[in-house]
Amino acid sequence: MPSTYKKDKPWDTDDIDKWKEEAFTPDQNAGGTFSEESSFATLFPKYREIYLKQSWPMITRVLEKHGIACTLDLVEGSMTVKTTRKTFDPAAILNARDLIKLLARSVPSPQAVKIMEDGVACDVIKIRGLVRNKERFVKRRQRILGPNGSTLKALELLTQTYILVQGNTVSVMGAYKSLKEVRRVIEDCMANIHPIYHIKELMIKRELAKDPELKNENWDRFLPHFKKRNLSKRRKPFKVVDKAKKVYTPFPPEREKSKVDLQIESGEFFLNKQAKERAGRERREENMRAKMEERRKRREEAFVAPGEGGAGEVKAKKRRKEPKADGEEAG
């Protein structure tokens, strides 16, 4: 029998994407309705209540297309999704679970409903437990945003994802490969590696992917390798101790005397209550007398008579003025 694999295939052209996954339709669900009901619920914060109440009709319409029922409980503060007899796609309930999770993390409704599309996934990264100190955590979380949100915008453009930094979590939506890249950038940022290094690396990868010759080669020689340098180490200590002058002694330094030890040495410790009060009163009076004497001396300094040289200078000035006055009268 002649071989047929070398025959021309006019239907097989280069513009066909052989890896494309077709959308799942109700006709492909050969099993029929599900035997059991699956449901997921999540809580949402109080400040999201008004927004969710306004956008819930739109969310209900989107989920109805996939046969998913949803409930908003404002009393309990929870959202619930569950399968119905109209549900035909088994993965729809998992996408609906991710949808309510994103809505609880302050993702806008028009953006959150895109999770129901094929090829779109989400990842909620918990960043609070990665840094112990709160002030350090706030600084490193701000690095993800950058000045006026420029760093976050650059990450979104390079990875083709949607990123929202809210509280103690970072919500990411996009393709699976892009989610891994963004998670690596976020975790490294919390480990004190600035996102600008990853942005530079992603930009180089983006340009290399456009080159058909380098598309399938190893890119390690093109990627930057940043050395970790700790600049906080001092080459010279603040206080240099000359060990040659210091004599070594095996005995520890003498312990400083406490307040009780000093009272025992002076004998004040053994006095009774009245004697202690009398001694304290005498001490205060003695200090008061010393201060009064010091103030008296300071006041008397203003009444000290000037020396003889000062009086002679005043008389000389008067004598100089007198001839001038006689001349004026004569004139």
Give the tens place of pLDDT for each residue, 300-327.
888 877 777 554 554 555 555 555 544 4
Q: Are residues 124 and 222 in the same domain?
A: yes
Q: Give the per-residue pLDDT at 13.
A: 81
CA–CA gap between residue 291 and residue 272 (Å, rounded):
29
- Average pLDDT on 285-291 reads 94
Has residue 188 been placed in a domain? yes
- Burial of residue 99 (CB within 10 Å: 0-12, 13-18, 19+) is buried
- Average pLDDT on 20-34 reads 82
Give pLDDT tens digits for 119-172.
899 999 999 999 999 999 999 999 999 999 999 999 999 999 999 999 999 999
Q: Are residues 110 and 125 in the same domain?
A: no
Q: What value does the mean pLDDT of the chain take?
A: 85
Q: Are residues 131 and 223 in the same domain?
A: yes
- In this predicted structure, the answer to whether residue 99 has a pLDDT above a threshold of 80 is yes
- Average pLDDT on 219-239 reads 71
Q: Where are the beta strands (DSSP E) in the chain?
A: 39-43, 68-73, 78-83, 121-126, 162-166, 169-174
| Assessment of whether the complete model's pTM goes beyond 0.85 | no
Q: Are residues 101 and 173 in the same domain?
A: no
Q: Are residues 108 and 127 in the same domain?
A: no
46 Cβ contact partners less than 8 Å away, ≥ 6 residues apart: 77
Has residue 242 been placed in a domain? no
Cα 194 to chain centroid distance, Å, stands at: 12
Has residue 327 been placed in a domain? no
Has residue 87 been placed in a domain? yes
Q: Are residues 146 and 181 in the same domain?
A: yes
Q: Give the per-residue pLDDT at 179.
A: 94
The domain of 207 spans: 119-227
Has residue 9 been placed in a domain? no
Q: Are residues 147 and 206 in the same domain?
A: yes
Give the percent of the chain with pLDDT over 70: 85
Q: Are residues 124 and 220 in the same domain?
A: yes
Has residue 79 been placed in a domain? yes
Has residue 10 been placed in a domain? no
Q: 211, 227, 243 — which closes off a domain? A: 227
CA–CA gap between residue 313 and residue 59 (Å, rounded):
102
Q: 64, 86, 118 — which closes off a domain? A: 118
Pick 25 or 180 by higher pLDDT.
Answer: 180
Q: Which amino acid is at 210?
A: K
Q: Are residues 144 and 189 in the same domain?
A: yes
Lowest mean pLDDT among 100-104, 109-113, 315-319: 315-319
Q: Are residues 133 and 113 in the same domain?
A: no
Q: Are residues 129 and 187 in the same domain?
A: yes
Has residue 99 been placed in a domain? yes
Q: Are residues 100 and 136 in the same domain?
A: no
| Domains of the chain: total | 3
Give the domain CATH number at 123. 3.30.1370.10
